[in-house]
Structure 1
Amino acid sequence: MKTLTILKTTIAVLFFQQTFSQEAKKETASPQYTIENCVNHFELEKATKTKVGYQYWFANKDFTQENTLKMSIVEPGKSTHAPHHHPEEEFFYILEGTAEFFLDGKTVTAGPNTSFYCPPNAEHGISNAGKTDLKYLVIKKDLR
């Protein structure tokens, strides 16, 4: 009987801890949205330096409900990483420069005002095929 009481108490404590932990995560995971933090103007000094240029997150997975928006700036002749794949679909939108898109073994070169859609799990990549910096947006759904 005493063992059953201890077991019930342990289960109740574990349940309380799990519930409290989940509630704490919910509270910290939901940012307060205001006009001040929902409008984001690019500032180079807030960008992250990479090996091939810069990245600037307009909206990351810690702020949004499920989508991210990032601007990448890549030096001529370089790419942020080799072709790869992941379960999330992804959009690229060229702002400036010349991009070479890679999708499942084929490539296309394009300039500003061109979008590139990468379906889920497709091997894809983007590189700077021009003589000036390549500036593009990356829009991706966060699969939490």
Structure 2
Amino acid sequence: MKLSTTIKVAIAALITQTIQSQQQNKETSHAEIKYTIENCVNHFDLDKATKTKVGYQYWFADKNFTQENTLKMSIVEPGKSTHAPHHHVEEEFFYILEGTAQFYLDGKTVVAGPNTSFYCPSNMEHGISNVGKTDLKYLVIKKDLR
């Protein structure tokens, strides 16, 4: 019995130490960033976009720069999607800028165009695909849960 309790205490201490270390690393990495008007304004630049299998993506704000949130623009070619329906712990917002999107959420779909937002709660299966004849351009806003 005593050995089992000792092991549980040791595991709990290790987990606590790991969590504290991760929190300190997060605070340190953001403390090192000096936020200025120059690095807080991000103009889209195709040369800095990342090519994907179905188009490209551009990070306006990623987890290495922001405190909690990320902002990405995805461009998807007609008839394609960035990935199969999936789920993750972070909630997500999608905002359609151009094109026609099909949004999948928990077994149902809806088709919508520009100036439409889609919300995906935590751990719900979701996906987005281009069902139009032109490129689909949308923003993805997600909270970073490092």
Q: What range describes the TM-score normalised by the shorter chain of this pair?
A: 0.7 to 0.9
CA contact (8 A) 2:30 2:67 kept: no
* Distance change >3 Å, CA 128–CA 25, structure 1 → 2: closer
Aligned residues: 127
Out of 108, 111, 124, the position equivalent to 1:109 is 111
What displacement does 1:23 show? Answer: 6.4
Matched, 1:52 2:54: yes
What displacement does 1:24 show? Answer: 7.1
Once the two structures are superposed, the pairs formed by residues 1-144 of structure 1 within 5 Å of their partners are 26-30=27-31, 31-144=33-146
What displacement does 1:40 show? Answer: 0.3
Distance 1:24 1:109 in 2: 42
TM-score if structure 1 supplies the norm length?
0.82
What residue ranges of structure 1 are gaps of 5+ in the alignment? 1-18
* Distance change >3 Å, CA 126–CA 24, structure 1 → 2: closer
- State the SS of the aligned residue for 1:78: coil
* Distance change >3 Å, CA 24–CA 98, structure 1 → 2: closer
Distance 1:70 1:136 in 2: 8
TM-score if structure 2 supplies the norm length?
0.81
- Max Rg structure: 1
- State the SS of the aligned residue for 2:28: helix
Distance 1:75 1:36 in 2: 32
**Cα RMSD for the two superposed structures:** 2.1
Distance 1:129 1:110 in 2: 10
1:45-70: CA deviation from partner (whole Å, max 9, x where unpaired): 10000000000000000000000000
